[in-house]
Structure 1
Amino acid sequence: MLREAVSGVVKLHGYIQSRTDARVRDYPLMHSPVQMTTILLAYIAFAVYAGPRLMANRKPFGLNRAMIIYNLSMVLLNAFIVYEFMMSGWATTFTWRCDLVDTTTSPQALRMVRVAWLFYFSKFIELLDTVFFVLRKKQSQITFLHVFHHSFMPWTWWWGVTLTPAGGMGSFHAMVNATVHVIMYSYYGLSAAGPRFQKYLWWKKYMTAIQLIQFILVSIHISQYYFMERCDYQVPLWIHLIWMYGFFFFFLFSNFWVQAYIKGNRLPIANQKPKQNGSTNESMTVMRNGKHCENGNSKHANGNIVMGKVKNI
């Protein structure tokens, strides 16, 4: 029984390697799914179990300078990714409709392969978002959705880059996501810089609107596939998954918008002053990647991951 199971795993591993696009096979973390899956499992274990217990009897680290450098670096990295996506097709030869996967070795195709891998690799860098939360003892901000998003995104993108590195219309959501991250990491950098920059963060509530616009754009673009008379996109499964992903997160952020800005359940307290750690002493805190939580209201114990309802994200 065990021998058959091992044999099946070996065959699956061999099949995956045989299907891996030759243009991306030698890139870091692309040789097999074992490496990236191990990293992501270790990340989950650290975020949920090891990290909180490591910090349980320690004072939170003051990491403002490191966070400023990190956020600025992420702004520059995501801006570069957006530029490369534009130059490798979206601002040059793509039709913005049924753009197929480019299987050639042309300079433009190889450029798209490189930026697709760079976007994938940037998701591992973004795991530092959670590391900063743990070291600063902000465990209430590490919700189930936060951990799920940070682990699920790079795991799924490994398969996309493996099979379709020059992803055609399937790469649009990555370009949009990188654009949003330029804006969001700019916000986080200003927030970490201290209270003297709080006056420049008046656009805080529009962060959710930016996220909603992202999901609308992605859903509209990918939905074209279902109304075209003919579109021979090589891996239709990616189309369906992108559409479901966009719809799922649009629902979550729409719910937050209603709760916060229509029903007023999470509007900030106007007479409270900002703290020194780069965050604000308000009832609502904007988390990385657009997720939100309520300070002091998230249910957690001994630093365990928050398993609240969607409205507490």
Structure 2
Amino acid sequence: MSAIVQTVVRNYQQIVRETKVDPMVDSWFLMGSPLPILSILAVYLWFVLKAGPAFMASRKPYNLQPILVLYNGYQVLFSLWLCTMPLRVNAIPYLLKHGCHPLENQHNPFTIAVSNGAWWYFFSKVIELLDTVFFVLRKKQNQVSFLNVYHHSITCFFSWCYLKYLPGEQGVVIGFLNSVVHVVLYTYYLIAALGPKYQKYLWWKKYVTKIQLAQFCIMLAYLGTLLVFDCKLPKALTFFFVGNVVIFLFLFADFYRKAYSRRSPKGSAAKSESGAAGEAVPAPSGSKHVEFCDAPSATDSGVARRKVQAAH
């Protein structure tokens, strides 16, 4: 973990040297300095890795089904709303026409709208930290995996860095793509959170994983074009994005291989790292895996139960 922190600090220092901040964005909530978001992430890591498990050690798991239904329903609607933001300001047509030539950093309606959308996307990543918190409160500590914690921490910090140092239209493609995928993911989690009688409607979980893998491939291709055509973007930030997308692609591909290529005779999915709601499906750029508290799943004790993994 210390190596990860050192890498983040080195890249952050490089980004600072390559960029100039926007005073308008600096005035927004949590954007003045990295201290607030780093403090949030520090508290998150402290709770899910140490304080939370200690607090729950002598307690029974909390029944969070009603909360999970509301939470996942909110995430579906919020992700849908995020999808509409770039469409309302015609950001996608602009990118198709102008490629990687960013607009001047002027406070015109277009750039303000794009930056505003980026802030709400960043805010969604802060809220998604609750996925892991729910695992802890339900005593699903085996689901608080490296993939789950790393994914949530890094995507939250990345989205902050993008808004702070690169609030242009180039990130719209990734944000839009990720929001579309999250509509699908949280719809899956919502159905899973409704209870065992709805499990029959989750036959498509394998395809959700494929959608996530396709998302990472598209992200890599897009980020590659930004580098190949020498877009005026911070190199450290772009390479950091590329490196982590490669990591996520590998981790999710590994999950897919274990879960769907080597099924047990009973067809149970391989043991997986989860994040918030109901059956085994990995999480994306924000991804989390979710196991519904009443749904069968595989446990550390070796008892076979159906598992639901979610990604974000």
Normalising by the residue count of structure 2, what TM-score does the alignment of the two structures yield? 0.78
How many residues are paired up? Answer: 272
Q: Secondary structure at the match of 2:88?
A: helix
Q: Which residue of 2 aligns with 1:307?
A: none
Question: 1: distance between equivalents of 2:38 and 2:221?
Answer: 31
Q: Secondary structure at the match of 2:177?
A: helix
Note the 1:69-148 alignment, pairs <5 A: 69-95=70-96, 97-100=99-102, 102-148=104-150
- 1:138-191 CA-to-partner distances (Å, cap 9, x unmatched) read 11111012111111221222222111112x323322221111111111111111
Runs of 4 or more, structure 1, over 6 Å off, are: none
Question: 1: distance between equivalents of 2:282 and 2:106?
Answer: 40
Shift in Å, 1:78: 1.1
Question: 2: distance between equivalents of 1:20 and 1:267?
Answer: 55
- 1:35-64 CA-to-partner distances (Å, cap 9, x unmatched) read 111111000000000101111111111111
Question: 2: distance between equivalents of 1:101 and 1:143?
Answer: 40
The answer to whether the Cα contact below 8 Å between 1:40 and 1:151 also exists between their aligned partners in 2 is yes
Are residue 205 (structure 1) and residue 206 (structure 2) matched?
Answer: yes
Q: Secondary structure at the match of 2:22?
A: coil
Q: Please tell me the residue identity of whatever aligns with 1:263.
A: R
Question: 1: distance between equivalents of 2:265 and 2:182?
Answer: 23
Shift in Å, 1:238: 3.1
Question: 2: distance between equivalents of 1:267 and 1:23?
Answer: 57
Q: Secondary structure at the match of 2:58?
A: coil
Shift in Å, 1:298: 8.3
Shift in Å, 1:19: 4.0
In the alignment, structure 1 segments of 5+ residues that lack a partner are 1-11, 271-277, 300-313
- 1:206-263 CA-to-partner distances (Å, cap 9, x unmatched) read 22111101001111122223443xx442423333222222222111112222222223
Q: Which residue of 2 aligns with 1:5?
A: none
Q: Secondary structure at the match of 1:103?
A: coil
Shift in Å, 1:291: 4.2
Q: Which residue of 2 aligns with 1:6?
A: none
Q: Which residue of 2 aligns with 1:4?
A: none
How large is the Cα RMSD of the aligned pairs? 2.8
Q: Please tell me the residue identity of whatever aligns with 1:296.
A: T
Q: Secondary structure at the match of 2:119?
A: helix
Q: Which residue of 2 aligns with 1:28?
A: 29
Quick one: percent identity of the two aligned structures?
33
Q: Which residue of 2 aligns with 1:261?
A: 260
Q: Secondary structure at the match of 1:157?
A: helix
Question: 1: distance between equivalents of 2:233 and 2:153?
Answer: 26
Normalising by the residue count of structure 1, what TM-score does the alignment of the two structures yield? 0.78
Shift in Å, 1:102: 4.7
Q: Secondary structure at the match of 2:156?
A: helix
Are residue 295 (structure 1) and residue 298 (structure 2) matched?
Answer: yes
Shift in Å, 1:70: 0.6
Question: 2: distance between equivalents of 1:125 and 1:298?
Answer: 32
Q: Which residue of 2 aligns with 1:151?
A: 153
Question: 2: distance between equivalents of 1:266 and 1:236?
Answer: 48
Aligned CA distance change for structure 1 residues 34 and 134 (closer, same or farther; 3 Å)? same
Question: 2: distance between equivalents of 1:159 and 1:266?
Answer: 46
Note the 1:266-285 alignment, pairs <5 A: 268-269=267-268, 279=278, 285=280
The answer to whether the Cα contact below 8 Å between 1:191 and 1:279 also exists between their aligned partners in 2 is yes
Question: 2: distance between equivalents of 1:298 and 1:32?
Answer: 45
Shift in Å, 1:91: 3.1
Higher Cα radius of gyration: 1
Q: Which residue of 2 aligns with 1:286?
A: 281
The answer to whether the Cα contact below 8 Å between 2:44 and 2:129 also exists between their aligned partners in 1 is yes
Question: 2: distance between equivalents of 1:61 and 1:193?
Answer: 16
Question: 1: distance between equivalents of 2:123 and 2:104?
Answer: 21
Q: Please tell me the residue identity of whatever aligns with 2:252.
A: F
Question: 2: distance between equivalents of 1:269 and 1:261?
Answer: 9
The answer to whether the Cα contact below 8 Å between 2:91 and 2:172 also exists between their aligned partners in 1 is no
Q: Which residue of 2 aligns with 1:3?
A: none
Aligned CA distance change for structure 1 residues 267 and 210 (closer, same or farther; 3 Å)? farther
Question: 1: distance between equivalents of 2:301 and 2:25?
Answer: 42
Aligned CA distance change for structure 1 residues 245 and 85 (closer, same or farther; 3 Å)? farther
Aligned CA distance change for structure 1 residues 298 and 76 (closer, same or farther; 3 Å)? farther
